[in-house]
Structure formats: C-alpha cells, structure tokens
C-alpha cells in the first residue's frame, strides 16, 4: 500500500482498475449476504475488522514513494470472514485511510488490489490447501493458515507491488531489491507473528469467530 497518483501509467491504472473490478464482482457473488444480515456476530466481526484495519494502516514506515511497510492483518480477517467478505471489510478499511488522507482516492483500486485482494486470496489459497491435506492436529491450522499464511500473503503482496512499480519504470529492479525486496523476510516475520497470535487467541477463546475453521476435523 502507498501508491500515489504519479507512480502508475494510464495503461497500468486502467488494467489495475479492471482487475480490481473483476475480483470485486467475484467476491460479491461469493458472499452470502442473507447470512450476513441474519448473523449479528458476523456483522460485528465484519465492521469491527474494518475499523481495526483502518486504524492499523495509519501506522507505517517507508522512505521511497509506494514502498511503505506496515502490518497488513488480512490473513486473520480472511480466516474470520472468508476471502470474499474479508475483501469488502478490507476495502472499508481502505476507505478510512482515504478519508484520513493517508491514501489518494485515485489509487484506490491499486492499493485495494495490493493491500486487500492479493493477501486475502493468498491466505484463502493456503487455507484451502491445509483443508485438502486433511490435517487432524489443530496446530496445522494455526501454523499453516495463521503464521505461515500471513507471511506468504504479505510477501506476495509486496512482490505484486514491486512488479507494478518496476513495470511502470519508477524504479529499476536493482533499486527495488535494495530498498524493499531484501527486507521482505523481515516484513514477513512480524506479519506472521501478529496474525498467527490473533488466530491462536481466537481458536482458543472464540473459535466460532473463525468461519473457515472446521472444528469437527480437529476433534480427537
């Protein structure tokens, strides 16, 4: 996240906007809106996650434009809500950053793609992989979906962001390696720890909040 209006060409902006709308449309079709309206707990998780992320994303570091470093937090939201609903919750959080002036409205699609959609889809993919492996130990869900999934998700988002900046000609590949890519392992560690810790806490105290958790599979 942190794309400003001068970082992408017009062609890239249009391509990003189209891809953003396609994923958004698929997410809208995947959400059970009736269940969301009926379930007050799910509504609280949805809007609470949006507000929490909106404030969390105010805290960031970075020197060069477009190469901001911060905690994404999308993995735990994806495990709580499912990827489609997590996308909408994340986009509401992004609206907060636009209102507070942290992000430009013009780059909403680009920032939404990098910060919200890529991490949500990667986290969902890892969750599906863990489910298909049919692990019987609940530590597999915590480690693979929480800790490991969050680290891979933020790495994927960072690589997508770097590819966008490199293809636009803003940075050379060597500059991206020097200023961002070589720090990805350091970014992955806190991301994995924060998300994994929250997933662990939810699994212990409020497992019903994790809609992607099949509790029956981990029972002895």
pLDDT cut 70: percent of the chain above it:
94
For the segment 148-177, the average pLDDT, to the nearest whole number, is 90
Model pLDDT, residue 62? 64
pLDDT (0 to 100) of residue 171:
84
Percent of the chain scoring above 90 in pLDDT: 62
Please give the pLDDT value at position 65: 67
**10-218 has which fold?**
Arp2/3 complex 21 kDa subunit ARPC3 (1.10.1760)
**What is the predicted pLDDT for the residue at 210?**
93
pLDDT of residue 61: 73
Handedness of CA 27, 123, 86, 158 (dihedral sign): negative
pLDDT digits (tens, 9 = 90+) for 107-116: 899 999 999 9
The domains of the chain are located at 10-218
Each residue's pLDDT tens digit, 56-84 = 998 877 667 667 788 899 999 999 999 99
C-alpha pair distances (Å), 169 with each of 3, 104, 163: 14, 20, 10
Q: 3-state SS of the chain?
A: CCCCCCCCCHHHHHHHHHHHHHHHHHHHHHCCHHHHHHCHHHHHHHHHHHHHHHHHCCCCECCCCCCCECCCCHHHHHHHHCHHHHHHHHHHHHHHHHHCCCCCHHHHHHHHHHHHHHHHHHHHHHHHHHHHHCCCCHHHHHHHHHHHHHHHHHHHHHHHHHHHHHHCCCCCHHHHHHHCHHHHHHHHHHHHHHHHHHHHHHHHHCHHHCCCCCHHHHCC
Using pLDDT thresholds of 50, 70 and 90, give the confidence band for residue 30. Answer: very high
């Amino acid at each position: 996240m942190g794309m400003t209006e001068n970082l992408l060409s017009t062609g890239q902006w249009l391509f990003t906007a189209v891809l953003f709308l396609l994923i958004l449309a698929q997410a809208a079709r995947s959400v059970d809106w009736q269940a969301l309206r009926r379930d007050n707990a799910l509504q609280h998780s949805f809007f609470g996650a949006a507000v929490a992320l909106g404030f969390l994303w105010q805290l960031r570091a970075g020197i060069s434009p477009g190469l901001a470093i911060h905690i994404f937090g999308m993995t735990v939201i994806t495990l709580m809500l499912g990827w489609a609903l997590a996308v909408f919750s994340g986009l509401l959080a992004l609206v907060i950053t636009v209102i507070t002036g942290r992000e430009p409205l013009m780059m909403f699609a680009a920032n939404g793609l990098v910060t919200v959609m890529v991490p949500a889809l990667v986290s969902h993919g890892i969750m599906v992989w863990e489910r298909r492996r049919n692990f019987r130990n609940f530590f597999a869900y915590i480690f693979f979906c929480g800790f490991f999934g969050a680290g891979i998700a933020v790495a994927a988002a960072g690589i997508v962001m770097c590819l966008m900046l490199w293809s636009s000609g803003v940075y050379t590949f060597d500059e991206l390696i020097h200023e961002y890519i070589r720090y990805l392992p350091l970014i992955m560690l806190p991301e994995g720890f924060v998300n994994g810790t929250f997933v662990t806490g939810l699994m212990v105290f409020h497992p019903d909040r994790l809609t992607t958790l099949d509790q029956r599979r981990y029972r002895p």
